[in-house]
Structure 1
Amino acid sequence: MVQGRGSAIAAAALLCLLCVHLELAQAATYTVGGTGGWTFNSVSWTKGKRFKAGDTLVFDYNPSLHNVVAVNKAGYNSCTTPKGAKVYRSGKDRIKLTKGQNYFICNVVGHCQSGMKIAVTAA
């Protein structure tokens, strides 16, 4: 039986969908801070966890008390918000990790200094 060009295109499309599905199935979702959510002394929450690019971090917190800011290494180390940094304020933020270092702080006065920050390395 001879297959037409349409069958080959359909098979290629199905293969592409399968690849996308497998990639999505490998991504993990982590709630930052566990059941306690995004709060003080979160800095050690990453210990023992292995993150990959494409994994999602979920930041659960009270938006009237906290926020999440994606910062660079200097912002993380100094607890300052660099110009142009993305600030999240929903209280239910979902942030996809990029390969390499990912840094997050709460920039409410004194919160980062009290350990409300995390550094995540994604493979």
Structure 2
Amino acid sequence: MGFASTGLVFIVVMVAALDVSSSMAATYDVGDTSGWTSMGNIDYNKWSSSKSIHVGDTIRKFCLQSKIPQFLQVTPQDYESCTTTSPLATYTTGNDSIQIKGDDTHYYFICGVPGHCKIGQKVDIQVSTSIGQATKSRSSCYSDPCTSNSYPFISQNPFIPNPFISNPFLSSPTFIYDI
């Protein structure tokens, strides 16, 4: 293998590493450290709006009372009226994970314990249709003036890695030698 082949292998490895980083799904715990509770006046919609939840991500609900149907997925109408009689899904294990799929742009959840929804224990999770956070931060680097084309041999194409831009997903560069 010559120098050109080694360079091509390096580029392929770098592109693969960048691709993996942008396709990683995130997991969000409802309410973060507070969890799913009626105690403490938690604003779950504020929590939800502070997240950038995408298709493929997972939301988790944790609670101590696992026998009570505390986490109900409902329609927008049932969400607004806090109606618990016909949920789309019921989560009762106390350690539930719900993967966000591409068929909905909103997920509505309420607490099934009487009175809890009325005092704010409900959450409207809006699924972001924008590019994932890892992709956004990686792409923005290529449009940054710091990568101006003062070195014409360095590609400005986001699909061809720039060796002068560090990749946090690689601890050290990988070199392939033909011996």
Structure number with bigger Rg = 2
Contact in 1 for aligned 2:69/2:91 (Cα 8 Å): no
The answer to whether 1:35 aligns with 2:37 is no
Q: After the TM superposition, which residues 2-21 of structure 1 pair with which residues of structure 2 at under 5 Å, given as runs?
A: none
Contact in 2 for aligned 1:43/1:115 (Cα 8 Å): no
Amino acid of the residue matched to residue 24 of structure 2? Q
Structure number having the greater strand percentage:
1
Deviations 1:55-77 (A, max 9, x none): 10010112256610011101111
Identity %: 34
Equivalent residue number for residue 71 of structure 2: 68
Structure 2 unaligned spans of 5+: 1-15, 130-179
Equivalent residue number for residue 101 of structure 2: 98
The answer to whether 1:109 aligns with 2:111 is no
Equivalent residue number for residue 121 of structure 1: 126
Task: Report how many residues are paired.
Answer: 104
Return the TM-score normalized by structure 1: 0.73
Return the TM-score normalized by structure 2: 0.52
Q: Which runs of 4+ in 1 moved over 4 A?
A: none
CA root-mean-square deviation: 2.3
Structure 1 unaligned spans of 5+: 1-17
Please state whether the residue corresponding to 1:45 is helix, strand or coil.
helix
